[in-house]
Amino acid sequence: MIIDGVRIFDGTAMLGPGAVEFADGVITRVLTEPAAASDASAPAEVIDGTGLTLLPGLIDAHTHVFGAESNLGLALAFGVTTELDMFMGPPELTQALCSAAAERADLADMRSSGLVASAPGGHPGHAMPLLPTVAGPDEADAFVAARQAEGAHFIKIIVDDGANHGMSLPALDGATVTALAGAARRRGLLTVAHVSAGWSARLALDSGVDMLTHLPLEAALDDAFVSRTADERRVVIPTLAMLEVSAPKTSSPSRTGRSLADDPRIADYLPEHARTAIAEGHEGLCVEKASPEHDFTHALASVARLHRAGVPVLAGTDTNYLPDRACPVVHGASLHAELALLVQAGLTPAEALTAATSAPAAHFGLADRGVIAPGRRADLVLVEGDPTQDITRTRSIAAIWRGGVRLDREAYRGRTA
């Protein structure tokens, strides 16, 4: 297969118009001028890419699959070829789904943290009595070893006192998070800390975790915090798509995520219950529990400061959608809102695309994907127009290949309609 005459966003920069050839699931050649003008031997099948842009398959760096294959199918239908799941169980189900996702051409591939580390009685274990917890630093190494034995690809740590949900719950303390981060580092696993507010972001940074996910809504991160995050080479996954719909409407009238339901390029490929969830579903902060200072623009300002300071920012949505749980942040579709929100925060469209392709691949050690280059997986998304000029062009999907296998997107649309 060769896609010819196409603009190529290789994960960092725009090349071409040129040509990309792949065979047996792997990219074999990348030419920076059209193949017709070169001395290439005639390939079996040629797609005319004139006016189109080829992107690496998109990577959502914060999702919750919740054991539902349908979520991985929904993700792939919107060009998300890899999801990084940030909490799922039980471990046997996580392993089975990771194995299925590695093989099947109709699902996004996935990696998972498996079960999260949290305090006894804390978020989210207060509602899940079977979830193993970490009572103190002495239990950290055994916790990490157990997750590693279950096949966890990284370690997720919850630093949250429940205040965003109107509760007052015990949270992991600094000594315990430090011990978890150290145990994971010794065992060769990355750590990702869920931070709920300014205090928990500071605790995570002080404790040496590799990545922070979510951002405070009550205030933007200050310059001292941001420069420390840069100096200590941490990575941030803001989850703007989730924060936007979580913030009280009164303080943050931003509607990027909600407006996906009005965009036929998205809505036409959504099951009806997902379209309804995007338009009307609820997430995160209960409006009546949020205080007036909770404002989505604080998160946008934090992303702008982090990005200016050189902190890698990864695109992640925190989608935790299930048909019977009307979370407005839907698998696959919501990554296109996240890209637009990263641009609102001040990234260029090309930088936002990097945040959803080569950057998560590099920071999560996915060396086989995220970049259009010879030897990488043929995870590819072909879109109409130039998304480095207009980020919403990622929604104008012409074709999707996962591991070199083209998704029959119209058949998917037929099944969901």
Nearer to Zn ion, 10 or 318 (CB): 318
Amino acid type, 342: L
How many residues bind Zn ion, per CB under 5 A?
A: 2
Report in angstroms how near the CB of residue 86 gets to Zn ion at its nearest: 5
> Computed from CA positions of residues 378, 402, 342, 114, in that sequence, does the dihedral angle turn out positive or negative?
negative
Cα torsion through 303, 305, 308, 309, rounded to 10: -110
Q: Which positions from 33 to 72 touch Zn ion by CB under 5 A, shown as an x/- string? A: ----------------------------------------
Q: Does 85 bind Zn ion (CB under 5 A)?
A: no
Q: Does 318 bind Zn ion (CB under 5 A)?
A: yes
Site residues (CB under 5 A) for Zn ion, limited to 369-388: none
Q: Does 160 bind Zn ion (CB under 5 A)?
A: no
Report in angstroms how near the CB of residue 63 gets to Zn ion at its nearest: 8
Nearer to Zn ion, 15 or 86 (CB): 86
Site residues (CB under 5 A) for Zn ion, limited to 86-105: 86
Report in angstroms how near the CB of residue 292 gets to Zn ion at its nearest: 25
Q: Using CB under 5 A, which of the segments 105-113, 315-323, 326-334, 393-401 binds Zn ion?
A: 315-323
Nearer to Zn ion, 4 or 318 (CB): 318
Q: Using CB under 5 A, which of the segments 75-83, 126-134, 286-294, 316-324 binds Zn ion?
A: 316-324
List of residues 6+ apart from 200 with CB closer than 8 A: 159, 160, 161, 171, 193
How many Cβ atoms are within 10 Å of 157's Cβ, its own excluded? Answer: 29
Nearer to Zn ion, 2 or 84 (CB): 84
In SS3 terms, 69-117 reads as HHHHHHHHHCCEEEEEECCCCCHHHHHHHHHHHHHCCCCCEEEECCCCE
Report in angstroms how near the CB of residue 52 gets to Zn ion at its nearest: 33
Q: How far apart are CA 32 and CA 54, in angstroms?
A: 12
Closest CA to 271 of 70, 121, 55, 93: 70
Report in angstroms how near the CB of residue 373 gets to Zn ion at its nearest: 31
Q: Does 139 bind Zn ion (CB under 5 A)?
A: no
Amino acid type, 152: A
For residue 401, which phi and psi values (nearest 5 degrees)? Answer: -120, 135
Nearer to Zn ion, 21 or 318 (CB): 318
SS3 call for 373:
coil
Q: Using CB under 5 A, which of the segments 102-110, 128-136, 302-310, 317-325 binds Zn ion?
A: 317-325
Q: Using CB under 5 A, which of the segments 48-56, 230-238, 251-259, 312-320 binds Zn ion?
A: 312-320
* Residue whose structure tokens are 């036409």: 268
Q: How far apart are CA 373 and CA 48, in angstroms?
A: 19
Nearer to Zn ion, 6 or 240 (CB): 240
Cα torsion through 342, 114, 78, 381, rounded to 10: 80
The residue at minimum Cβ distance from Zn ion is: 318
Q: What is the CA radius of gyration of the chain?
A: 21
* Site residues (vs Zn ion, CB under 5 A): 86, 318
